[in-house]
Amino acid sequence: MLILNPKKAKTFIVPTAKKLNVDSELVEHLMDYYWKEVRKALSELKAPRVTIANFGSFRIKSWKLDEQRLKYQYYLNKTVDDMTFATHKIKSDIEQRVNEIDALKVIVLEDAERKKQIKDKRNGKVDNQDLEK
């Protein structure tokens, strides 16, 4: 059995800088920026899918969106009881997140429908509406 030991990103900075003949500080800043943007894209639900070259593809699961929306809805219902100036800001931030989740849920469902249509077409299933065309 082959056991791979994970390596830290810091171990790639100096060899990459030497190979590209650039300053190692520049390589470090670029790597930090890249991974910061990847983390941001994953955590802020900017897209239903994030693909990282030579690493993989990460998809949002619709049931996770539902779970997160329920949590936010619970907090929204809880903050209505004792509204202060500080909780008003928190409430507006949570409402914005709920709206983002709803928008992303629509995109995820459209993507799932598109995949289903492609799969049906590939397997020879055709709707009666398509026969007229």
The verdict on residue 20 lying in a domain is no
- Looking at the structure of the chain, the number of domains it has is 1
CA distances to 6, 8, 39, 50, 66 from 3, in Å: 10, 16, 27, 27, 37
The verdict on residue 44 lying in a domain is no
pLDDT at 104: 87
Flag whether pLDDT at 133 surpasses 60.
no
The verdict on residue 79 lying in a domain is yes
Domain that holds residue 77: 61-123
The verdict on residue 21 lying in a domain is no
pTM of the predicted protein model: 0.60
The pLDDT tens digits for 74-102 are: 888 876 666 777 778 888 888 998 998 88
The verdict on residue 23 lying in a domain is no
